Structure 1
Amino acid sequence: MEEASSVFLQKIEEQYIEGIADNMRTYGVSATVGRVLGVIYTNRRPMTLEELSAETGMSKTRMSQVVREMIDLNIASKVYEKGVRKDLYNVETDYYQTFVSLFTSNWQKVIQKNKMIGKRLATQLSKELEKGDLTPETEHEINVWLDETRQWMNYYQWLDQLVDFFESGEIFKHVPKPE
């Protein structure tokens, strides 16, 4: 009977890990990252690259890449444990914080990229206007694009504020976590 319970619990754990992997796809993150997150989470302790490789069947090199990606997304961190010589990696156990980390890290990249594009477009358009030898139609079209670029920049400024709203935890004052 004990072995049946063990098999049952192992299947539950596998379903849990696959659920996390599916969720990661929703956030625009690979299912592989989700599986590794799930493995560390379900083991309920920090793990080495070797342990993660053994658990997932991935090479240590691939595992290193996945863990680096997780650290970049702020959903994993390297931790120190006295007496352990190998690097250990742990994950955030608060679902809400994991969501905030994934949401904000993805949007921060998009925001920074699009702010740079907007600045570059505005500069190019302004330089073209300064030339002064434009037809009224061309000047009008450039001004339309300058206005569009300002709206673009305002949008990404708003998104930046939204990310700050999440990162500061202010979101939880307006949408509280259930008790």
Structure 2
Amino acid sequence: MEKEVLEELKQAESQISDRIADNMKTFGVSSTVGRLLGIIYLNRTPMTLDQLAEETGMSKTRMSQVMRQMMSLNIAEKEFVKGSRKEYYKVENDYIQTFISLFTTNWKEVVSKNSQLARRLKDKVLRLEEKHQDNFSPEAEKKIADLKEELEQWISYYDWIRRLVEFFESEDILKYVPPKKPSNDS
């Protein structure tokens, strides 16, 4: 009977891990990242690349690549285990912190790339205006004015996202949307 219970519990953990993997798509992150996040989280202790490779059936090289990606997303880190020369990895065990890390890491990159592009395009339009002063047709003048306005809106939009990211990173969001304590209902 205990064997059946343990098997059912293992299946439930597998479903949680699978759902975490599916949820990663929402953040633009591979399901492999989510799968490893779920495996390490449900293991409740740090794991080595060998353990992860065995658990997933993937190569140790692939596990190393995914762990580097997870560390760059701020959802995993190396942990020293006394008496072992192997590298162990642990994951953020707070779902809200994981969300904040994934949300902010991805959006910071989007903001950076788009803000740089907006600045380059704005400079390009200004150079065109300086180079061809007063030689524009009404149609070209309208296009320039429209593009400048669009770029200003774009810059404003990405500035808003940057400030939203800061709001999450500072955890001020938790003052306005506090997490509820888990109930102990069984």
Q: TM-score, normalised by structure 1?
A: 0.97
In the comparison of the two structures, how many residue pairs are matched? 179
Contact 1:111 1:159 in 2 (8 A): yes
Which 4+ stretches in 1 moved above 6 angstroms? none
Residue 41 of structure 1 contacts residue 91 of structure 1 at CA under 8 Å; is this kept in 2?
Answer: yes
Instruction: Give distance in 1, aligned partners of 2:125 and 2:34.
Output: 43
What is the 5 A alignment of 1:57-76? 57-76=57-76
Show structure 1 runs of 5+ residues with no match: none
SS at 1:173 equivalent: helix
* Cα shift readout 1:7-48 (whole Å, capped 9, x = no counterpart): 111111111111111111122211111110000001000111
* Matching residue of 2:178: 176
Matching residue of 2:122? 122
Distance 2:75 2:117 in 1: 28
| Number of the residue aligned with 1:150 | 152
Paired AA for residue 3 in structure 1: K
Deviation at 1:78, TM superposition (A): 1.0
Cα RMSD (Å): 1.0
Q: TM-score, normalised by structure 2?
A: 0.93
For the residues of structure 2 that align with 1:26 and 1:152, how far apart are their CA atoms? 23
**Cα distance between partner residues in 1 of 2:143 and 2:3:** 73
C-alpha distance after superposition, 1:86-119 (max 9, x if no partner): 1111000000000000111111111001001100
2:184 corresponds to: none
Q: Provide the rounded CA distance (Å) in 2 between the counterparts of 1:95 and 1:26.
A: 14
Q: Distance in 2 between matches of 1:58 and 1:137?
A: 58
1:79–1:90 contact (8 Å) kept in structure 2: yes
Where does the alignment leave 5 or more consecutive residues of structure 2 unmatched? 182-186
Please state how far the C-alpha of 1:83 moved relative to its aligned partner.
Answer: 1.6
- In the aligned structure 2, how far is the partner of 1:146 from the partner of 1:60? 50
Give 1:37's aligned residue. Answer: 37
Q: What is the distance in 1 between the residues matched to 2:177 and 2:3?
A: 43
Match of 2:28 in 1: 28
Give the deviation of 1:76 after TM superposition: 0.5
Residue in structure 2 matched with residue 4 of structure 1 by the alignment: 4
C-alpha deviation, 1:124, in angstroms: 0.5
Secondary structure class of the residue paired with 2:98: helix
Q: Matches of 2:90 and 2:58 in 1, distance apart?
A: 18
Q: How many Å separate the matches in 2 of 1:164 and 1:17? A: 29
Following superposition, the deviation at residue 135 of structure 1 comes to 2.3
**Could you say which residue in structure 2 is the equivalent of 1:163?**
165
Q: Is the 8 A contact 1:129 1:139 kept in 2?
A: no
